[in-house]
């Protein structure tokens, strides 16, 4: 984490139950509050309307009861007014005014005369006088003064008709004259109603809160019960994450949870199916269906441990097909693939069910034969050889006999590692090939084979230590562009430094192959070459470096991604790197190299075919592989100055390469005469001791080019 980057806060743990219930409670609370508010508003409105109606009725009656006050007959009316007021406790004050606003009489709710009633102001008197003869004549005013919530006021008037209007056809329609007698005002106190209403609303609100709390508790219980299977799912998912062999998901009566469980079960089955498929792909060869090298090594390690524990003996057969390259070259790689499949089937048939058969790589197979002595192992190997001889393979009307060479190494106890046993079987197989092929050889600890193993073990220890301590070295050999005389392209060559001197790749790479270290070597070389490009490009902007890759690199599915990470990490363009593969590798791993090369080409890397011309029909592969360079096999270049056949071969390769748009490189250039012939035949690059020996660092292009031109001129 950078210093400026703020640490991330841990995410709060959230509860689905709490959130659902909280949302429901919030909705219910809002609904309850709206209901209480609506009830309060509705109740207040209804009460107000009812009280206004009653107040109007009371005003009419008080108007009539108070009429004698304007006719000087107040004594008789006073008793009726007091009785009326006493019936209605809501009436707090009744006041009668003269037309000029003067108070004629003001009575309290208890019937007592009130002397503190103020005059009716002129504006109010004018407004009330205007309502004389209008229905309804009363005005309701709210909150007129502290303790008086409502006041109902209106005019008191008399109507009279003319004498002739009484005898008219429609007396009601005849005009009447009104005379204002004064005003009446009734002060009402309805707080008693509200004092009862609001406590009841408060009680209702409290009951609502209690109901909400009870519903929340019940809802929480019901939700937890309904979601209990989710908690059980958590346990099942934890088992799934820990790669438990069998995971069971809980059932649920709820449709939604059943859908989740069903989806999880289907996902688990799909994951298990994919895992089994990936495990099968990781441990088996796709072409033959046999176990691959990775699975074989694990099986051999287990067998070594078992033999040591039980005192048993087993044997390892290293089987190398003798005619595979010939079939592949003459009939194509599809025929070669078919031949490998037939060989795999025959090997399965030739051994017992408890024995283990695997494809080691290319046209090489291994067979782990359990619980056999040396004699029984030789006999079993002879049986395999005989059955393989008896298999005929017909391809393009040609018959091929499936022949092989078999090397046998014994497995007994832990005196040898799996790598050493494979090396022993491999050396025995090479011995069988050197003795004429199509035969069985058993590794012998007493003899040249044992000496070779001892040398290989020593070499491997040195190589492994050099890999671990990063002590391998690269040497750079220049490639001269013949036409321009410029050197900007170098081949990197691997060296193993020891206390006794530097060991070349021809010595330690075969041992690395037998002991399974080639993949580590390939990755080390790629890493160092990319790093060298990053360091040298600023001073040599046109620099290109080429390096060899083994067949093990193309068995690594992560080769392209690994190289892509290196190029990105060091900021190197892919077109600065040329990857060399042998023609034999392109033939043996045809389907795999095609796929890997396509991914490497996507990174911008260029491709060179090394030792071109050493196969039976090399030109056929130029149509399939996206090749940038052909490195002519050294056997055609060494004797170029004196051998007409070599001259014809090099000339033909140059012409075919130019037609295909491919540049050519001639190795092992040792003289000026050879360089002149290469220029004559149109070869693009020359490499060899005459151009420049491998050095610890690339020579600057000008110096290298000048040295090459001087040597050629001499």
What pLDDT is recorded for position 335?
A: 80
What pLDDT is recorded for position 524?
A: 93
CATH number of 471-713: 3.20.20.450
For the segment 223-236, what is each residue's pLDDT rounded down to a tens digit? 777 666 666 676 77
Name beta bridge partners: 153.
139, 185
CB 475 within 8 A of CB 492: yes
What pLDDT is recorded for position 480?
A: 92
Is residue 703 predicted with pLDDT exceeding 60?
no
Q: Report, at the CATH architecture level, how domain 290-443 is classified.
A: 2-Layer Sandwich (3.30)
CB 505 within 8 A of CB 499: no
Rounded to whole angstroms, what are the CA distances from 456 to 200, 209, 360, 473? Answer: 102, 87, 19, 20
Between these two residues, 693 and 73, which has the higher pLDDT value?
A: 693
Is residue 564 predicted with pLDDT exceeding 90?
yes
What pLDDT is recorded for position 481?
A: 92
Strands 685-686 and 663-666: parallel
Q: Among all chains, which residue has been given the structure tokens 């009601």?
A: 172
What pLDDT is recorded for position 380?
A: 92
For the segment 670-692, what is each residue's pLDDT rounded down to a tens digit? 999 999 999 999 999 999 989 98
First to last CA, the chain: 63
For the segment 19-59, what is each residue's pLDDT rounded down to a tens digit? 776 777 777 778 777 777 777 777 767 767 777 777 777 77
Which DSSP string do the residues of 345-391 spell out, in sequence order?
A: HHHHHHS-TTSEEEEEETTEEEEEE-S--HHHHHHHHHHHHHHHHT-
What pLDDT is recorded for position 152?
A: 77
Q: What percent of the chain has pLDDT over 90?
A: 25
What pLDDT is recorded for position 237?
A: 73
Yes or no: is domain 17-195 CATH 1.20.1530? no
For the chain, which residues make up each domain, given as ranges? 17-195, 245-282, 290-443, 471-713
Between these two residues, 605 and 188, which has the higher pLDDT value?
A: 605
How far is the C-alpha of 523 from the C-alpha of 526, rounded, in Å?
5
The mean pLDDT of 114-135, rounded to a whole number, is 81
Tokens encoding 385: 């050889």
Rounded to whole angstroms, what are the CA distances from 87 to 84, 502, 675? Answer: 5, 130, 139
The mean pLDDT of 621-649, rounded to a whole number, is 87
Q: How many residues does the chain have?
A: 714
Task: For 397-524, list the strands marked E by DSSP.
Answer: 398-401, 404-411, 440-442, 473-481, 486-498, 501-503
């Amino acid at each position: 984490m950078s210093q400026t980057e703020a640490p991330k806060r841990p995410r709060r743990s959230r509860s689905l139950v709490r959130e659902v219930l909280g949302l429901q409670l919030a909705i219910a609370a809002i609904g309850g509050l709206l209901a209480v508010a609506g009830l309060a508003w509705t109740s207040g409105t209804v009460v107000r309307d009812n009280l206004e109606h009653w107040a109007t009725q009371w005003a009419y009656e008080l108007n009539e009861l108070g009429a004698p006050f304007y006719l000087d007959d107040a004594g008789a009316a006073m008793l009726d007014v007091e009785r009326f007021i006493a019936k209605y406790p809501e009436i707090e004050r009744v006041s009668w005014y003269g037309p000029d606003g003067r108070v004629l009489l003001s009575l309290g709710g208890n019937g007592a005369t009130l002397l503190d009633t103020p005059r009716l102001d002129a504006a109010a008197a004018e407004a009330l006088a205007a309502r004389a003869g209008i229905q309804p004549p009363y005005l309701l005013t709210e909150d007129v003064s502290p303790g008086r919530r409502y006041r109902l006021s209106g005019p008191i008037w008399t109507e009279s008709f003319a004498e002739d209007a009484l005898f008219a056809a429609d007396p009601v329609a005849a005009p009447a004259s009104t005379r204002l007698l004064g005003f009446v005002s009734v002060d009402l106190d309805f707080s008693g109603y509200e004092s009862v209403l609001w406590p009841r609303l408060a009680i209702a609100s409290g009951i609502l809160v209690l109901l909400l709390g009870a519903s929340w508790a019940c809802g929480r219980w019901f939700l937890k019960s309904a979601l209990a299977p989710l908690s059980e799912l958590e346990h099942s998912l934890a088992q799934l994450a820990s790669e438990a062999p069998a995971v069971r998901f809980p059932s649920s009566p709820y449709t939604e949870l059943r859908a989740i469980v069903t989806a999880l079960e289907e996902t688990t089955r799909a994951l298990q199916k994919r895992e089994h498929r990936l495990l099968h792909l990781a441990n088996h060869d796709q072409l033959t269906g046999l176990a691959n090298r990775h699975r074989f090594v694990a099986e051999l390690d287990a067998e070594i441990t078992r033999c040591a524990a039980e005192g048993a003996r087993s044997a390892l057969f290293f089987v190398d097909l003798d005619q595979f390259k010939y079939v592949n070259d003459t009939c194509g790689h599809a025929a070669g693939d078919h031949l490998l499949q037939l060989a795999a089937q025959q090997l399965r048939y030739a051994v017992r069910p408890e024995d283990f058969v695997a494809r080691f790589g290319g046209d090489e197979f291994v067979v782990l034969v359990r619980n056999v002595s040396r004699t029984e192992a030789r006999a079993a190997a002879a049986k395999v050889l005989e059955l393989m001889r008896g298999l005929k393979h017909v391809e393009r009307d040609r018959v091929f006999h499936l022949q092989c060479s078999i090397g046998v190494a014994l497995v007994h106890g832990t005196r040898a590692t799996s790598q050493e046993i494979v090396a022993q079987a491999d050396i025995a197989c090479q011995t069988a090939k050197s003795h004429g092929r199509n035969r069985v050889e058993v590794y012998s600890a007493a003899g040249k084979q044992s000496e070779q193993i001892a040398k290989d073990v020593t070499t491997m220890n040195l190589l492994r230590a050099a890999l671990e301590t990063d002590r391998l070295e690269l040497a750079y050999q220049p490639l001269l562009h013949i036409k321009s005389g410029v050197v900007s392209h170098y081949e990197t060559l691997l060296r193993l430094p020891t206390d006794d001197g530097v060991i070349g790749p021809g010595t330690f790479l075969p041992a690395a192959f037998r002991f399974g270290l080639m993949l580590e070597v390939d990755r080390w070389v790629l890493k160092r070459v990319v790093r060298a490009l990053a360091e040298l490009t600023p001073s040599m902007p046109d620099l290109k470096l080429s390096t060899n890759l083994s067949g093990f690199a193309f068995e690594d599915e992560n080769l392209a991604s690994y190289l892509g990470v290196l190029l990105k990490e060091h900021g190197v363009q892919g077109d600065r790197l040329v990857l060399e593969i042998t023609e034999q590798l392109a033939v043996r791993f045809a389907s795999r190299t095609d796929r890997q090369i396509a991914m490497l080409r996507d990174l911008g890397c260029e491709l060179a075919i090394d030792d071109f011309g050493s196969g039976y029909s090399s030109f056929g592969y130029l149509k399939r592989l996206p090749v940038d360079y052909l490195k002519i096999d050294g056997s055609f270049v060494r004797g170029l100055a004196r051998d007409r056949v070599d001259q014809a071969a090099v000339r033909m390769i140059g012409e075919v390469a130019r037609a295909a748009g491919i540049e050519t490189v001639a190795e092992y250039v040792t003289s000026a005469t050879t360089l002149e012939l290469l220029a004559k035949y149109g070869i693009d690059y020359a490499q060899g001791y005459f151009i420049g020996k491998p050095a610890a660092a690339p020579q600057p292009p000008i110096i290298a080019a000048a040295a090459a031109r001087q040597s050629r001129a001499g």
